[in-house]
Amino acid sequence: QKEVEQDPGPLSVPEGAIVSLNCTYSNSAFQYFMWYRQYSRKGPELLMYTYSSGNKEDGRFTAQVDKSSKYISLFIRDSQPSDSATYLCAMILGGGADGLTFGKGTHLIIQP
Amino acid sequence: DVKVTQSSRYLVKRTGEKVFLECVQDMDHENMFWYRQDPGLGLRLIYFSYDVKMKEKGDIPEGYSVSREKKERFSLILESASTNQTSMYLCASRPQMNTEAFFGQGTRLTVV
Cβ–Cβ gap B48/A94 under 8 Å: no
Kindly state the helix (H) or strand (E) to which residue B111 belongs, with its residue range: strand B107-111
Three-state SS for A40?
A: coil
Chain A positions touching B8 (Cβ under 8 A) are none
Choose, out of B97, B99, B102, the residue to mutate when testing the contact with A (most A CBs < 10 Å). Answer: B97
Residues of B in contact with A44 (CB under 8 A): 43, 90, 103
pLDDT given for residue A52 in this prediction: 79
B93-112: pLDDT as tens digits: 988 776 788 999 999 999 99
Task: Name the 3-class secondary structure at A7.
Answer: coil
Beta strands of A1-112 (E only): which ranges? 4-5, 11-14, 19-25, 32-38, 45-50, 54-58, 61-66, 71-76, 85-92, 101-102, 106-111
- Residue B54, φ and ψ in degrees, nearest 5: -105, 140
Q: Residue A93 has what pLDDT?
A: 82
Q: Is A96 helix (H, G, I), strand (E, B) or coil?
A: coil
Find chain A residues with C-beta within 8 A of B33's C-beta. 99-100
Q: Are A87 and A21 in contact (CB under 8 A)?
A: yes
Residues of chain B short of pLDDT 50, as ranges, are: none
pLDDT at A57: 96
Q: Do B97 and A96 touch (CB under 8 A)?
A: yes
Query: Phi-psi region for residue B50, left (φ > 0), alpha (ψ -120 to 50) or beta?
Result: alpha
Classified as helix, coil or strand, A82 is: helix
pLDDT, tens digit only, all 112 positions of chain A: 558 999 999 999 999 999 999 999 999 888 899 999 999 999 999 999 998 788 999 999 999 999 999 999 999 999 999 999 999 999 988 765 567 889 999 999 999 9
> Looking at CA atoms only, how far is residue A16 from chain B in angstroms?
28
Is B106 close to A94, i.e. CB distance below 8 A?
Answer: no
Pairwise CB contact (< 8 Å): A45 & B45: no
Which residues of chain A make contact with B104, given a CB cutoff of 8 A? 43
